[in-house]
């Protein structure tokens, strides 16, 4: 069995088990995990290791743990937590009217910063009554990270952007890190949780509030849909679902209703928590007919995963893709001109056709801004429609010749058409106008490496590392284009290439 075949088989296994998509840059992570897994388990080769993970649950779980991205920190997106505690919790308490504690789930909790932040914020408002008023569960697929969550010991890194008073009040400093106080730790019940499972333990149910933030980015649309149906089963008839703010549109799949309050977006089930003046504009309304997938069994929905979205869920938006008349005579809401931020979100969530449809709508409505051309050229480039890409890129660059996004797309267009020296020139031009644009350094490094220019490649990877290790949330300098470059992966790969290139250069020097 070839190496490619092993990779393909493991990707499939992992995707079916937990939904993680290991394409593109994540493929390198998979490769590294397979190599180290095989070495640790004394397998002769990757094929033997593949057989092992098929038969040995523990070995498989260890591999999964290598593949998850556990990036998290305390009080991430604090505006959401504030809205929850100040505005929504009082409504939930009023609605429940003493019928048991408010049940909260942090799904994909990683090392625990999210559920613990919720406890701290609740304690801040509800004091000693927190324990009696709230039941907080937290679950993750990765058993190793759950163990870390239970320990509650953190490094400086988990406190990015956290107001110092939280740390002073709830943590004890020790030589090995910041220890979360027992009064907070005891309030979170951690459980192993695979959101793609078909059966859930008896105690995982009846939630009033679910936090599912920064997890769906690792899934494709079909998996996200399956997981939403799962949540639908695990949540109470009146309940609230939070996702990361950049994930909202990619999860607006017609299962839950999108709501907005005080500028924060979330999903609701039932109508009790629907904000009075919600500004939410949903592309896909929840379908509440007999054919409603919500009413179907989870198992059936899983089976339908491979069907195209439209056949599962005739959302208003999907209909409009095929039904010309509904585009010509849109309902009042649909007639609003879509804004670019929403189109960007769709692109980030791997929904280029929906994004393209809206862009065409936007451009046809007279929106001549260069950003619309940029976004369109980016989608076309990803479809490998190089001539059309060039056309729209030209329109964008003639309006804004020094657009970082435009020049970077140009570089990638050259790269993907194998014009490596053209690509190099464009990436250098980007770096000239924006020296901190780490994606340009990264792409440049890759090309230099491919062309055997080891020292130039090394220098460019080192620049990437300098920018990102100083500040892991450094901007990629793109104003419009959601580049498919997760920082964790870029750091991981850059380190690896630096190591290999340095070793290679030492060997070459030694050879002289
Ligand atoms: C980036 S962290 C998000 C942590 C936290 N929710 C936050 O927003 O900071 C993503 C987590 O999702 C978990 N995860 C991935 N697939 C999962 C699945 N199928 N079921 C449960 N958790 C999953 C990963 O193990 C990882 O710890």
**pLDDT tens for the chain, residues 1 to 512:** 677 889 999 999 999 999 999 987 788 889 989 999 999 999 999 999 999 999 999 999 999 999 999 999 999 999 999 999 999 999 999 999 989 999 999 999 999 999 999 999 999 999 999 999 999 999 999 999 999 999 999 999 999 878 899 999 999 999 999 999 999 999 999 999 999 998 899 999 999 999 999 999 899 989 999 999 999 999 999 999 999 987 887 888 889 999 989 888 999 999 999 998 776 666 554 443 333 333 333 343 343 333 333 222 222 222 222 222 232 333 333 334 557 877 888 887 778 888 898 888 888 777 778 889 999 999 999 888 999 999 999 999 988 888 999 999 999 999 999 999 999 999 999 998 888 999 999 999 999 999 999 999 999 999 999 999 888 888 899 888 888 888 888 998 999 999 999 887 765 544 43
10 Å Cβ neighbour count for 309?
19
- Alpha carbons 244 and 214: distance in angstroms, whole number: 6
| Exposed / middle / buried, residue 114 (Cβ in 10 Å: 0-12, 13-18, 19+) | buried
| Probe target for ligand 1 pocket from 18, 108, 191, with the most ligand atoms within 8 Å of CB | 108
| Probe target for ligand 1 pocket from 141, 146, 162, with the most ligand atoms within 8 Å of CB | 141
Ligand 1 centroid vs 218 CA: distance in angstroms? 9
CATH architecture of residue range(s) 78-269: 3-Layer(aba) Sandwich (3.40)
Residues 6+ apart with CB under 8 A from 168: none
DSSP string covering 47-66, please? Answer: HHHHHHHHH-HHHHHHHHHH
Distances (CA, A) of 2 to 9, 16, 95, 435: 11, 21, 59, 41
The pLDDT of residue 284: 55
| Exposed / middle / buried, residue 238 (Cβ in 10 Å: 0-12, 13-18, 19+) | middle
Ligand 1 centroid vs 110 CA: distance in angstroms? 6
* Ligand 1, atom 5, residue with closest C-alpha: 109
> 313 CB less than 6 Å from ligand 1?
no
Tokens 């679950």, residue?
139
Are the beta carbons of 75 and 98 closer than 8 angstroms?
A: no
| Exposed / middle / buried, residue 172 (Cβ in 10 Å: 0-12, 13-18, 19+) | exposed
Residue 58 has which token pair? 């523990």
Tokens 């994540």, residue?
26
The pLDDT of residue 304: 37
- Alpha carbons 410 and 374: distance in angstroms, whole number: 10
Residues 6+ apart with CB under 8 A from 413: 381, 386, 389, 390, 393
* Ligand 1, atom 2, residue with closest C-alpha: 70
Class of domain 402-507: mainly alpha
> 223 CB less than 6 Å from ligand 1?
no
Distances (CA, A) of 31 to 6, 38, 290, 485, 503: 10, 11, 45, 17, 20
Sequence ranges of the domains in the chain = 3-65, 78-269, 334-384, 402-507
């Amino acid at each position: 069995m070839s190496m490619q075949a092993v990779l393909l088989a493991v990707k499939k296994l992992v995707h079916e088990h937990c939904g993680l998509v290991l394409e593109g840059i994540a493929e390198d992570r998979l490769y590294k995990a397979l190599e180290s897994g095989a070495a640790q388990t004394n397998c002769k080769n990757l094929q033997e290791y593949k057989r092992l993970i098929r038969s040995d649950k523990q070995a498989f779980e260890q591999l999964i743990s290598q593949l998850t991205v556990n990036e998290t920190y305390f009080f991430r997106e604090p505006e959401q937590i504030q809205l929850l505690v100040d505005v929504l919790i009082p409504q939930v308490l009023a609605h429940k009217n003493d019928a048991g504690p408010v049940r909260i789930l942090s799904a994909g909790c990683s090392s625990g910063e999210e559920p613990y932040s919720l406890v701290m914020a609740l304690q801040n408002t509800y004091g000693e009554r927190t324990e009696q008023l709230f039941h907080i569960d937290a679950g993750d697929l990765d058993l190793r990270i759950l163990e870390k969550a239970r320990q509650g010991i953190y490094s400086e890194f988990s406190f990015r952007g956290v107001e110092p008073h939280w740390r002073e009040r709830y943590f004890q400093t020790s030589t090995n890190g910041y220890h979360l106080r027992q009064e907070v730790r005891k309030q979170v019940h951690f459980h192993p949780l695979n959101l793609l499972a078909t059966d859930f333990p008896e105690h995982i149910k009846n939630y009033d509030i679910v936090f599912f933030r920064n997890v769906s980015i690792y899934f494709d649309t079909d998996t996200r849909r399956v997981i939403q149906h799962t949540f639908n089963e695990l949540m109470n008839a009146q309940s609230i679902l939070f996702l990361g703010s950049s994930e909202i549109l990619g999860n607006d799949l017609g299962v839950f209703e999108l709501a907005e309050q005080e500028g924060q977006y979330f999903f609701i089930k039932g109508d009790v928590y629907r904000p009075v003046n919600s500004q939410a504009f949903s592309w896909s309304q929840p379908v509440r007919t007999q054919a409603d997938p919500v009413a179907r069994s989870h198992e059936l929905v899983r089976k339908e995963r491979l069907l195209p979205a439209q056949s599962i869920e005739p959302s208003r938006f999907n209909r409009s893709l095929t039904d010309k008349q509904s585009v010509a005579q849109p309902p009042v809401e649909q007639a609003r001109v879509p804004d670019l931020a929403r189109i960007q979100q769709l692109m980030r969530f791997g929904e280029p056709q929906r994004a393209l449809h809206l862009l065409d709508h936007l451009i046809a409505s007279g929106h001549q801004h260069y950003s619309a051309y940029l976004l369109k050229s980016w989608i076309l480039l990803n479809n490998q429609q190089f001539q059309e890409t060039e056309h729209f890129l030209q329109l964008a660059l003639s309006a804004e010749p020094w657009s970082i996004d435009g020049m970077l797309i140009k570089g990638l267009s050259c790269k993907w058409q194998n014009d490596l020296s053209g690509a190099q020139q464009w990436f250098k031009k980007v770096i000239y106008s924006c020296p901190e644009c780490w994606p340009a350094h990264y792409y440049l490094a890759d090309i230099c490496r491919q062309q055997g220019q080891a020292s130039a490649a090394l220098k460019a990877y080192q620049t990437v590392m300098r920018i990102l290790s100083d500040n892991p949330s450094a901007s990629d300098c793109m104003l419009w284009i959601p580049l498919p470059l997760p920082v964790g992966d870029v750091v991981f790969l850059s380190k690896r290439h630096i190591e290999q290139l340095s070793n290679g250069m030492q060997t070459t020097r030694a050879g002289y």
